[in-house]
Structure 1
Amino acid sequence: MSLRTIPTHPRVSIIVPTFNEAPNLERVLPTLPEVHEVIVVDGGSTDGTAETAQRVMPSARVIQQTRTGKGNALACGFEAATGDIIVMFDADGSADAREIPVMVAALLSGADFVKGSRMLHGGGSADLTTTRALGNRALTGMVNVLFRTRYTDLCYGYNAFWRDVLDVFDLPDPDATGRQWGDGFEIETLLNCRAAAARLTILEIPSYEHDRIHGVSNLRALPDGMRVLRTIDAEFRRLRTLHSGTRHVGATARFSSRPVARPTGIPAYRGPQRVAG
């Protein structure tokens, strides 16, 4: 990635994709740190999600996604963002907002793309089953071999990155018609693969995945594992096409091992903390 001028006080945009998340937003939005902007992307909710977001956080921007799926919601949020840094934040209560300043610190330390890892010391999950954990390990290992990466937790979507790397993700145009590759839950694996393919400096930080506040996980080990597998195959084929005619078929992403200084006032992880309420 080309050198950038790193601002002393970067503007942070938090993107929150939603679909019928009104009860969750009541408790999640108040936990977010004060940032440049919070963009809530609604997928046509029928439970008053948009209205709840505006009531709980009047400063939030609420926009409607253009197609369906989490990937399209994120792409719409990315396009609308005006900050220097973009943070992907799930609305179901599983993500810990206290980790956002640590992600920002990691980006300020020189990373292009920061991803949370439940597998690093200090991370963990209240939601990950043994079967899904084993599948995640196998899929992570596959990506590490094909893309020459050192990921520890492929199937986790709590990420942050500089807005100036958006172009390397080559996401589908939010205004395009019809279903597009990247519109669904494949978006998380797609971003990880394309960050590696673009040889971004990637840094993982420990992250804890909490129980969802309302409802249960929509993830299922076998079908979701197969979806991730198809995404890995498609992205590796894309990588080979990009480097057709050369010997380069891997990504050789630059993984940073530089420790991230925990910002003042952000306590070290001491175990899961449920959102109050």
Structure 2
Amino acid sequence: MSAVLRPESSGEDPLVIPSRTTASHPGHAPQPRYRAVSSHLAIAPPVSVVIPAMNEAANLPYVFRSLPDWIHEVVLVDGDSTDDTVRVARTLRPDVKVVEQRGKGKGDALISGFAACTGDIIVMVDADGSADGQEIVSYVSALVSGADFAKGSRFANGGGTDDMTPIRKLGNRVLCAVVNAKFGARYTDLCYGYNAFWRHCLDEITLDCTGFEVETLMNIRVVKAGLRVQEIPSHEYDRIHGVSNLRAVRDGLRVLRVILRERGVPRSVRAVRRRPAAGLRFTIPAVPGVPVNPTMPRGEVL
């Protein structure tokens, strides 16, 4: 994992955390590979974006257009679509990696997509057009700053939602309060699918749920594993085309079952807490809405 952050004109040396490198001339040290994000910020960790989709052909043009051009790869997990989802994806982005989902459910789709990723950072994005891909820079900035898991929140200061009904907001608030009380978290949002994390997180949060509740399972297990979590304010827009499969009561009960089941699973103990390598100096440009704190407590939301 690595990052290259270049102040625009401060005269300071850029930060380089060694990771993947490109070949260089004989006799010269390998040079870090990085992608420009803006005139003053660049990153070296390859970023994979996983998009689970089923019959989302009409929404993909917006979703793909909103993605930053510096991402490493897009992994589209097709849930046996009967429309032109796959064809549209390949037309929009010829290098898209298409994974055919063999099982059913959002959790199964995400697990399949994660397995196909080659990036050091993985970002989860819904295919209905409700997420703004330009927010990915905020998630990546939080991870480069020291977080293990960057969790999107519609209810953190600066976030918002155009999609949630009052009953869904109430249910989310109640379930979030239960998770905070039972697992010592400080989440402001529980059931949101826009998240990002370092690949190593997958080694510590075994995902064994196939449905919509996979997002809640991830949020609980990153806290139980002692991973460093940072919430990212995010705005959720209305689905552009089509009808959502979400059902407030049905899905709320499924989430509650996950919470109750996880209460009986012991908290994992990590012998070594991940920190940046000794001697590295962080020079992180400010990103609006993203507090920078590279010394995050384990399992705690800032």
Give the residue type in structure 2 aligned to 1:28. V
1:120 offset after TM fit, Å? 1.1
Cross-structure match for 1:142: 178
Cross-structure match for 1:112: 148
Moved over 3 A (4+): 5-8, 260-263
Give the whole-Å Cα distance in 1 for the aligned partners of 2:245 and 2:99: 24
Cross-structure match for 1:168: 204
1:16 aligns with 2:51: yes
* Residues 57-114 of structure 1 deviation map (CA, whole Å, 9 limit, x = unaligned): 1121111012111111111110110001000000000111111011000000100001
Give the residue type in structure 2 aligned to 1:219. L
Cross-structure match for 1:202: 229
CA root-mean-square deviation: 2.2
Task: Structure 1: state its 5+ residue gaps.
Answer: 173-181, 244-259, 270-277
Alignment of 1:253-264 (within 5 A): 262-263=286-287
Cross-structure match for 2:22: none
1:190 aligns with 2:225: no
| Structure exhibiting the larger radius of gyration computed from Cα positions | 2
Matched length: 238
Alignment of 1:1-277 (within 5 A): 8-34=43-69, 35-172=71-208, 182-239=209-266, 262-263=286-287
Aligned-pair identity (%): 55
Give the whole-Å Cα distance in 2 for the aligned partners of 1:268 and 1:144: 23
* Residues 203-259 of structure 1 deviation map (CA, whole Å, 9 limit, x = unaligned): 00100000101123322221111111011111222236x68xxxxxxxxxxxxxxxx
- Please say if residues 14 and 89 of structure 1, whose CA atoms lie closer than 8 Å, have aligned partners that are also in contact: yes
Task: Structure 2: state its 5+ residue gaps.
Answer: 1-16, 20-42, 270-283, 291-302
> What TM-score do you get using the length of structure 1 for normalisation?
0.81
Give the whole-Å Cα distance in 1 for the aligned partners of 2:286 and 2:98: 31
Whose helix fraction is larger, Structure 1's or Structure 2's?
A: 1
Give the whole-Å Cα distance in 2 for the aligned partners of 1:6 and 1:184: 37
* Residues 32-77 of structure 1 deviation map (CA, whole Å, 9 limit, x = unaligned): 1121100001011110211110011112111101211111111111
